[in-house]
Amino acid sequence: MLGAEGESGFTATAFNRRSLGFVLAAFALILAASEAVAQIRTTGGSEGIIEALIKWTPLLLLGPPGEFGGFVLNIAVSFLAMAIGTAAGLVLGLGQISLYAPVRKMSWAVTQFFRNSPWLVLLFFVMLLTPFHLRIGGVSIPLPDWLKATFGLSLPIMANMAEIVRGAVNSIPTSQWESAESLAFTRMQTLWRIILPQCVKRMIPPWMNWYAILTMATPLISIVGVNDAMTLTQDALAAEQKTELLMPMYGLLLVFFFIYCYPIARWTIYLERKYAVRI
C-alpha cells in the first residue's frame, strides 16, 4: 500500500512547506528575542551566546563523554518506555474485553488507576519502590536510575494504550466476530487473526500521538536525577553562571524536541486523514 503515490501524498500534506516555514520562523523569533533580551542586559553581545550554544550542543545532545545521557537518552527512554507500555497496554486492553469477569474488572481498575495518575507522581513512586538491584536466582542485575524512570513513564503509556486497544477492538463491527465464529474460529483465533489485524490501522495514529506526548514528557526524568538533556542544560547553565544564557539554552532544548516531535505530529495527522477515508 505504501507505493510512490502514498509517499508523494505524505510529502505534500505532512511537510506543507508554508506551515513548516511558519513554525521555524516563530522559533527563530523566540531565539532572536531571547538574545536581544540578553544583549540589553549585558555587554557581551550575541556572539558570546551563540558560541556558548555551539559549545554546549554536543553535551546536550549526546551527554558527557563516555556516559549515556543527553537528548539521545531522552529518545532511548521514549523508545523503551513506548515498547514496554505498548506490550503491557495490549495485554491490559485485551484483559478488558476478556470473557472472565475478574480479569475484565482487574484490567479496568488498573487502566483507570494509571490513566488518572500524574506522571511525575508515578515516576517518584517507581523510583522509590524499585530496588537498585534485581536478584534473579543468584544473579544480581543492577537497575540504573534511567531504567527505573523508563518503567515509571511506561505505566501511563500502558494505561492509555489499553484504552486504545479496547476502543479499537470495540470499533470492529460485531458481524466480523459472528462470521468468524460461524466458521468455527476459536475466540483467540478470531481476535489475533481477524479482529486485531483490522485494528492496527486505527490504532497507529493515536499510538503515535502518545509517543510524541511521551517524548515531550521525558524531561520529567531530570527531576529524579537522570542525566537527560534537561539535567545537562541545567548543569551547563550552572557552569556558565550567566543569566543571559537562560533563555537561549532552554530555547535550544525546545528546538531539539520540536525538530524531533513535529514531523511525528505531521505524520500522525497525515495517517489519520489517510485511514479516515478508508472505512
Partner 1 sequence: MPSLTASANKAHAHGWTPDQPIISIRDVYKSFGKVEVLKGITLDVRKGEVVCIIGPSGSGKSTLLRCINALVPIDRGSIKVEGQEVNDPALDKLELRKKVGMVFQSYNLFPHKTALENIMMAPVLVLKRPKDEVEAQARRLLKKVRLEDKADAYPGELSGGQQQRVAIARSLAMNPDVMLFDEVTAALDPETVKEVLVTIRELAEEGMTCILVTHEMGFAREVGDHIYFTDRGVIVEHGPPATFFKEASDPRTREFLSQIL
**What backbone torsions phi and psi does residue 21 show, to the nearest 5 degrees?**
-60, -40
Binding characters for partner 1, 128-167, by CB under 8 A (x = yes): ----------------------------------------
Counting residues that bind partner 1 (by CB under 8 A) gives 17
Identify how many contiguous H helices and E strands the chain contains and give both numbers: 12, 2
Q: For residues 77 and 71, what is the distance between their CA atoms, to the nearest angstrom?
A: 10
Instruction: State the minimum distance, in angstroms, from the CB of residue 6 to partner 1.
Output: 16
Instruction: State the minimum distance, in angstroms, from the CB of residue 171 to partner 1.
Output: 13
116 or 182: CB nearest partner 1: 182
Residue 118 engages partner 1 in binding (rule: CB under 8 A): no
Residue 198 engages partner 1 in binding (rule: CB under 8 A): yes
43 or 100: CB nearest partner 1: 100
CA 125-167-219 angle, to 5 degrees, is 35
42 or 189: CB nearest partner 1: 189
Q: For residues 97 and 191, what is the distance between their CA atoms, to the nearest angstrom?
A: 11
Contact between 95 and 235 under an 8 Å Cβ cutoff? The reply is no
Instruction: State the minimum distance, in angstroms, from the CB of residue 136 to partner 1.
Output: 37
Residue 24 engages partner 1 in binding (rule: CB under 8 A): no
Contact between 86 and 161 under an 8 Å Cβ cutoff? The reply is yes
41 or 193: CB nearest partner 1: 193
As a whole number of angstroms, the longest Cα–Cα distance in the chain is 80
Contact between 220 and 234 under an 8 Å Cβ cutoff? The reply is no
Question: Rule CB under 8 A: which of 165-194 touch partner 1?
Answer: 175-176, 178-186, 189, 193-194
Residue 5 engages partner 1 in binding (rule: CB under 8 A): no
Q: Is the sign of the CA dihedral 188, 190, 195, 200 positive or negative?
A: positive
Instruction: State the minimum distance, in angstroms, from the CB of residue 207 to partner 1.
Output: 18
Of 79, 77, 62, the residue nearest 218 (C-alpha): 77
Report the interface residues with partner 1, using CB under 8 A. 175-176, 178-186, 189, 193-194, 197-198, 278
